[in-house]
Structure 1
Amino acid sequence: MDNAEKIAAKAGNFQLSCFYIGEALCGIDIDQVQEINKQISFTEVPHAPEYVLGIMNLRGRIVTIIDLAKKLGLGLSNLTEESRIIIVSSKEEHIGLLVDKITDVIMADWKQVAPPPSNIKGVQGKYFQGVLNVKNKLVAILDVEEVLAVERG
């Protein structure tokens, strides 16, 4: 099933938690977000893929932290006061996605979502479910399962 068919199969309103990775404005379906964490401390893991920053202990649960910019081919994230880790749940695991800046939560309708172009600002389109035009800004909707697919081998 391609992205256009996946979008057509979805219906109704949903909420997007929006954030920046460099200049790219992205969003994740809020149903996949467990929490947004300001604590950016982690332990490096030897021999991990270069986009894996390390692991952190989040209230007794080990969470793998991924540099989302590196994973998407946008270089490395710059750690700043605005950097955050978005904790997402995928296949009963918690994964932390390092992003440059959190913006806001927006309401959207799947009818307004267009399939992603094959290349979004240098980012591989396969990592996105679609794009949404909000107030003359293009929001790329992240496909969390696709981004994390390699992590599970």
Structure 2
Amino acid sequence: MTALETAANQTQAANDPIEIIAFYLGEQQFCVRTTSIREIRGWAKSTPLPHASPEVMGMMNLRGAVIPVINTGRKLGHGWSEPTERSAIVVAELGGAVFGLMVDRVSDILTIDQSLVQPVPEMTSGFDKSYVEGIIAHQGDMICFLNLGRMFPEPSRSDFFD
């Protein structure tokens, strides 16, 4: 493959559409790729577990399988989010581990060009961008694009998925 063909393939990949699910935590909008999302459920109370990780709200029964429910706000360092009637559980799967992410509300499922994902700006202190894949400017809003694989890497998943 020539350098010109390689550059053309990279340009095409940057314009390939990606599907995301957008949701709110407080007033801030976030999104993740739909490829790791199994379903979206309305809020249902979870059963707390003693000595669980601080972000684990508890466990829920998903059609006979018991899965952990994560307080997404807490996981992202925003503090504990209290569920409301508008809250939802976004059921995700990573490497065979199934878990629920409690979000304040789901806003949209979008198909966007990958070229719309902007890099996270460099900041001097107090900001850990390891969970963030990029920022998407969409209809006057800024959507923080999260990377679930970085939020829940293989070794840490065993803390609450086994």
Could you say which TM-score interval applies, normalised by the shorter chain?
0.7 to 0.9
1:113 to 117, 122, 125: 117
> In the alignment, which of 42, 49, 59 is matched to residue 53 of structure 2?
49
SS in 2 for 1:146: helix
Tell me, in whole angstroms, the C-alpha distance in 2 between the residues paired with 1:117 and 1:45: 38
- Relative distance call for 1:97 and 1:14 in structure 2 (3 A) is same
Structure 1: gaps of 5 or more residues: 1-8
Provide the rounded CA distance (Å) in 2 between the counterparts of 1:30 and 1:63.
19
Unmatched runs of 5 consecutive residues or more in structure 2? 1-12
Q: Distance in 1 between matches of 2:142 and 2:134?
A: 10
Q: Distance in 2 between matches of 1:101 and 1:89?
A: 19
Larger radius of gyration, structure 1 or 2?
2
TM-score, length of structure 1 as denominator length: 0.86
Q: Alignment partner for residue 64 of structure 2, among 60, 64, 68?
A: 60
CA RMSD of aligned residues (A): 2.0
The change in CA–CA distance for 1:94 and 1:10 in structure 2 (over 3 A counts) is: farther
- Find 1:80's aligned residue among 81, 84, 96: 84
Give the fraction of aligned pairs with identical amino acids, expressed as a percent.
29
2:27 to 23, 32, 52: 23
Letter of the aligned partner of 1:138 in structure 2? Answer: M
Instruction: Quote how far apart the aligned CAs of 1:43 are.
Output: 1.2
Give the structure 2 partner of residue 151 of structure 1.
157
